[in-house]
A and B are shown apart, each in its own frame.
Chain A
Amino acid sequence: MAEYKWPEADKRALIGKRISRIDGPDKVSGRAKYSYDIKRPGVLYARMLRSPHAHAKIVSIDITAAEKMPGVKAVRIIQEVGKEIKWAGDDIVGVAAIDEAAAEDAVRAIKVQYEILPHLVIDTDPQNAGDNAKPTAAVTQGDPAANFAAADVVSTEGFYGNHVITHCCLEAHGMTTEWSDDKNLLVHPSTQNVSGTAAQMATPLETPATNIRVHQDHIGGGFGSKFGPDSWGIECARISKQAGGKPVKLFLERAAELMVAGARPSSYAQVKVGAKKDGTLVAWDSVSWGTGGPGGGGSPPLPYVFNIPHQHKQHTAIANNIGPARAWRAPNHPQGCLITMSALEDMAAHLQMNALDFFLKNIDLTGPRAQVYRDELKIAADLIGWQKHWHQRGDKTAGPIKRGLGLSIHTWGGAGHASDCDITIQPDGSVELKMGTQDLGVGTRTALAIVVADTLGLPLTGVRILIGDNSYPVSGPSGGSTTIGGISASSRRGAVDARDLIFAKAAPALEAKPEELEAWGGMVRVKTDPSRSLTWAQACAKLGGMPITVRGKNPGPEKLNDQGVGGVQMADVSVDVETGIVKINKIVAVQDCGLIIDLKTAESQVYGALIMGVTYALYEEKIMDQQTGTMLNPNMEFYKLAGLGDIGELVVHMMTGKGYDERGPIGLGEPPTVSPGAVISNAVANAIGVRVPTLPLTPDQVLAALEKKGGNHARI
């Protein structure tokens, strides 16, 4: 019976080490081809005429002029006359032409008349949302009324929230499609879901999924927004068919990318917290609301992580005309975390308790990971100098620059997704793995190479990794931090089975039983007598003339990964109370993720999450104009991302070793993105003495909060 469990620390040649990603040289040299870079022979370029209105009915469409323009090969009406359009930027007519300029010229020649309908694009006040507000039933746990009445301290009602932000993937959404013949479609998409794309295109295109070939070598960012082919992907294939099957490239322009291809739901809440004098939390009350576009959107988890014994909470979803929401790293968690950690930090300030002591006092409310949080809080506090730098709310030192500390904790699941792979070993010893997965920036190829090479006792270069094609074994979409867990487990099982087949062939030559062998340092050798050995190639030569292929699966025998992680972050910020500018001095992240496959890329994930967090805490907002119904900042000048000089000093500490490694790999993409908004907001409150109620903490919001001095009561 094969033994799949992860090797002990002293038997890991590669797993857990700091290893540079294997596709790094391709990426730094420009050789890496993203789907956006693919230029198929005779390709036509597609452009969309988009609705300028947030809510309208199409009255007429005239494409005659566009069809006659030079270079135009197909004009396709996507939304028929009479159709109701529900957000600005939605596709109306698609055009394919011999170059981008000709396609753009043709789009300008299309005439569409709309009947404009009333719209709603703001979400800050459910009272103004009318029928668009969809209240859900209140949830009660314990006896909140009695416990608020009995609490020593009830915090003044706090208001907290964050606006809608967009994904802003640097590689826009889109694809190139072509009909190889009447029945077969070739797709080069930008997707987080290589194996699942064909199934989503099959029904609308009335083409069997088996006839749809999907290939993607690299993807330029997804963050949860690229799981499907999207309506425009389907239209791309239809336009391609209309143009005689020619390749058609349709990638969103930057403005469209920001308008229609991703929105993280907003979330706002009025919160009341009850506690005893010693800081023990007893009761929670929240009235929350937010929008995820036309669908409304779900409630964030409240209270987050801390299961306060007595709770009353009610959420209202606001359906509006901003375009559909999409999953964004750790869906709903950053919102729930911001609201909860802000309210708790405000309570600590109310009690004049050190926020760290207050969190520790209540840490058992976090459940099974309380000890992990305790350990992480201690490490984080040391790394940021919490006890030395923390002060009661409001930096009392002279001068306009106020400094403060904040903290937050978070959780995520991150179990491994379903994943299959084929591992082929040739008689010459060369090894190849095929898997229909994708590398979102996680380092998927590298993790696969590490697991297989470590299992077979080979160097990284001894394994060839092929991913990004739906002709390879099916592997799950990259979402919810499930990739590393899934792909490491399936590749481990496959590699162990493949290795055991080689052991069986090599054992007679080594006069040993297969189970007495190990693969280490490029050799197959007897565990108790390493001098009895074959090189890997010699061992594989025992296969005879034919290679072997082994299927590795997840789930499968033995539990190779777990779910559920805890992380702690602390931030040190300076705020200029004259200009309202927030500067990050330092952020510390302490994070567990079970067994780490590649420490270098794992740390990169956490650094990246912190930087994305600085960006959404300080800069990002999809600014909607209720007057026109459109987005005011669909570009990268005014939809701001943090730059290299904006991030301060970042420190990452990964929890590894006993208590962590034996859980197996657990995903890491989401958890460290959860806390940065809360931790920065708390540090700003600690610095300036008042709460800035909503993210992003832009100078105007900081100054407004200071002016009101009302702290929690400040409403935008």
Chain B
Amino acid sequence: MHDDEKDDDQDLNQSHSGFSRRDFLKVGGISLSVPLVIGSRTIRVAGSDVKVYGPGKVPISLNINAKKYAAEVEPRMTLLDTLRNEFELTGAKRVCDRATCGACTVIIDGKSVYSCTVLAIDTQNKKITTVEGLTDGENLHPVQQAFVDNDAQQCGFCTPGFVVACKAFLDKHPHPTPEELGTGLGGNLCRCGTYMGIRAAVMQVAKGGQNG
């Protein structure tokens, strides 16, 4: 889990704009009886009004890498699957698909988030940054360049998630201690074993102070 993940969870659960995975699960059992409509309707669940979307596809609009993306997706679609299957933004990878490995890490409103565990519909009106958004044309972001310089990658499948997690981590901890690094980036896993390169990459950016 990212060190700031907890906050995100709370944010999502208190969100008024969409509705959270937890709320979704709460009403999931009755959603099948709701007619296939575009848009939402309000029903009463456990004493409060809850907006219900779906189960058919609903239009959504997302702000990704400062660009507007529109699609029609079922409300059960995660942000990760929406990025990958609807917008062909395949930098974020689907690996564990349940908030353990971090290969799908994106930044939402400044915080690193596992995109496999956020519903796309809940990320409307938020600022989403994916690994693709860190590159400026052909120019790599300093974190990306540091990954290349320090060979912080082998097969590379965990790499985009790690790059994004490192960017978000360095934004909060521009001069991390090794201990902060171990816990702050402990929510991303690599199978090839590239952690030595990743440590060196983060320290290169921290020393250069060029994270931006």
Contact A100 B81 (CB under 8 A): yes
A234–B100 Cα gap in the complex (Å)?
Answer: 31
Can you list 20 A-B contacts (CB < 8 A)? A23-B156, A25-B148, A28-B131, A39-B84, A39-B88, A170-B157, A170-B190, A220-B93, A441-B153, A604-B154, A607-B197, A611-B196, A612-B191, A636-B95, A636-B100, A641-B189, A643-B189, A644-B188, A644-B198, A650-B196
Residues of B in contact (CB 8 Å), total 60
Contact A39 B155 (CB under 8 A): no
Interface residue A608 (Cβ < 8 Å from any Cβ of B):
yes
Contact B156 A644 (CB under 8 A): no
Q: Give the interface of B toward A (CB within 8 A).
A: 74, 76-77, 81, 84-85, 88-98, 100-101, 103, 130-132, 134-135, 140, 144-145, 147-149, 151, 153-160, 163, 179, 181-183, 185-199
Contact B101 A636 (CB under 8 A): yes
Top 10 nearest A-B pairs (CB, nearest first) are: A30-B91, A645-B182, A611-B193, A220-B157, A441-B154, A608-B193, A27-B156, A37-B90, A441-B155, A24-B148
Contact A644 B181 (CB under 8 A): yes
Interface residue A382 (Cβ < 8 Å from any Cβ of B):
no
In the complex with contacts A28-B160, A29-B144, A220-B156, A169-B76 CB distance below 8 A: no
A142–B189 Cα gap in the complex (Å)?
Answer: 48
Chain B residues closer than 8 Å to A254, beta-carbon distance: 95-98
Chain B residues closer than 8 Å to A33, beta-carbon distance: 90
Contact A30 B90 (CB under 8 A): yes
Chain A residues closer than 8 Å to B90, beta-carbon distance: 30, 33-34, 37, 39
Least CB separation from B89: chain A residue:
A30
Interface residue A563 (Cβ < 8 Å from any Cβ of B):
no
A642–B190 Cα gap in the complex (Å)?
Answer: 8
Expressed in whole angstroms, the minimum distance between the Cβ of A568 and any Cβ of chain B is 19
Among A184-242, those with CB < 8 Å from B are 218-223
Contact B159 A28 (CB under 8 A): yes
In the complex with contacts A24-B148, A170-B95, A32-B156 CB distance below 8 A: yes
Contact B144 A643 (CB under 8 A): no
In the complex with contacts A25-B140, A29-B140, A99-B85, A647-B195 CB distance below 8 A: yes
Interface residue A573 (Cβ < 8 Å from any Cβ of B):
no
Expressed in whole angstroms, the minimum distance between the Cβ of A34 and any Cβ of chain B is 6
Chain B residues closer than 8 Å to A220, beta-carbon distance: 93, 155-157
Contact A604 B194 (CB under 8 A): yes
Interface hub of A36, A39, A220 (most chain B Cβ within 10 A): A220
Least CB separation from B91: chain A residue:
A30
A83-106 interface code vs B (CB 8 A; 1 in, 0 out): 000000000000000011100000
Chain B residues closer than 8 Å to A219, beta-carbon distance: 155
Taking a contact as CB atoms closer than 8 A, the residue among B92, B95, B149, B188 that contacts A30 in the complex is B92
Contact B156 A441 (CB under 8 A): yes
Chain B residues closer than 8 Å to A636, beta-carbon distance: 95-96, 98, 100-101, 189
Expressed in whole angstroms, the minimum distance between the Cβ of A36 and any Cβ of chain B is 7
Expressed in whole angstroms, the minimum distance between the Cβ of A437 and any Cβ of chain B is 15
Expressed in whole angstroms, the minimum distance between the Cβ of B144 and any Cβ of chain A is 4
Chain B residues closer than 8 Å to A53, beta-carbon distance: none
How many chain A residues sit at the interface, stated as a range, is 35 or more
A425–B157 Cα gap in the complex (Å)?
Answer: 33
Contact B195 A641 (CB under 8 A): no
A498–B208 Cα gap in the complex (Å)?
Answer: 43
Taking a contact as CB atoms closer than 8 A, the residue among B103, B135, B182 that contacts A170 in the complex is B103
Contact A170 B195 (CB under 8 A): no
Taking a contact as CB atoms closer than 8 A, the residue among B81, B94, B147, B191 that contacts A221 in the complex is B191
Interface residue A64 (Cβ < 8 Å from any Cβ of B):
no
Contact B183 A645 (CB under 8 A): yes
Contact B157 A644 (CB under 8 A): no
Chain A residues closer than 8 Å to B135, beta-carbon distance: 29
Interface hub of A101, A172, A610, A645 (most chain B Cβ within 10 A): A645
Chain B residues closer than 8 Å to A223, beta-carbon distance: 191
Contact B132 A643 (CB under 8 A): no
A31–B156 Cα gap in the complex (Å)?
Answer: 11
In the complex with contacts A25-B140, A607-B197, A101-B76 CB distance below 8 A: yes
A21–B155 Cα gap in the complex (Å)?
Answer: 11
Interface residue A601 (Cβ < 8 Å from any Cβ of B):
yes
A33–B156 Cα gap in the complex (Å)?
Answer: 10
Interface residue A171 (Cβ < 8 Å from any Cβ of B):
yes
Contact A25 B144 (CB under 8 A): yes
Contact B132 A645 (CB under 8 A): no
A29–B103 Cα gap in the complex (Å)?
Answer: 13
Among A616-667, those with CB < 8 Å from B are 635-637, 641-647, 650
Chain B residues closer than 8 Å to A27, beta-carbon distance: 153, 156, 159-160
A642–B189 Cα gap in the complex (Å)?
Answer: 7
Least CB separation from B187: chain A residue:
A643
Interface hub of B81, B132, B196 (most chain A Cβ within 10 A): B196
A163-182 interface code vs B (CB 8 A; 1 in, 0 out): 00000111110000000000
Interface residue A369 (Cβ < 8 Å from any Cβ of B):
no
Interface residue A706 (Cβ < 8 Å from any Cβ of B):
no
A645–B92 Cα gap in the complex (Å)?
Answer: 23
A643–B192 Cα gap in the complex (Å)?
Answer: 12
A232–B85 Cα gap in the complex (Å)?
Answer: 22
Interface residue A152 (Cβ < 8 Å from any Cβ of B):
no
Chain B residues closer than 8 Å to A600, beta-carbon distance: 151
Expressed in whole angstroms, the minimum distance between the Cβ of A254 and any Cβ of chain B is 5
Least CB separation from A169: chain B residue:
B191
Contact B160 A30 (CB under 8 A): yes
Contact B140 A28 (CB under 8 A): yes
Contact B163 A28 (CB under 8 A): yes
Interface residue A136 (Cβ < 8 Å from any Cβ of B):
no
A31–B160 Cα gap in the complex (Å)?
Answer: 9
Expressed in whole angstroms, the minimum distance between the Cβ of B185 and any Cβ of chain A is 5
Expressed in whole angstroms, the minimum distance between the Cβ of A101 and any Cβ of chain B is 6
Interface residue A253 (Cβ < 8 Å from any Cβ of B):
yes
Chain B residues closer than 8 Å to A25, beta-carbon distance: 140, 144, 148
In the complex with contacts A641-B189, A645-B186, A28-B155 CB distance below 8 A: no
Contact B97 A29 (CB under 8 A): no
Chain A residues closer than 8 Å to B193, beta-carbon distance: 607-612, 615
Expressed in whole angstroms, the minimum distance between the Cβ of A602 and any Cβ of chain B is 10
Chain B residues closer than 8 Å to A603, beta-carbon distance: 151
Chain B residues closer than 8 Å to A253, beta-carbon distance: 97
Expressed in whole angstroms, the minimum distance between the Cβ of B162 and any Cβ of chain A is 9
A172–B96 Cα gap in the complex (Å)?
Answer: 10
A467–B181 Cα gap in the complex (Å)?
Answer: 36
A607–B195 Cα gap in the complex (Å)?
Answer: 8
A111-154 interface code vs B (CB 8 A; 1 in, 0 out): 00000000000000000000000000000000000000000000
A612–B132 Cα gap in the complex (Å)?
Answer: 29
Chain A residues closer than 8 Å to B77, beta-carbon distance: 101
A221–B93 Cα gap in the complex (Å)?
Answer: 13
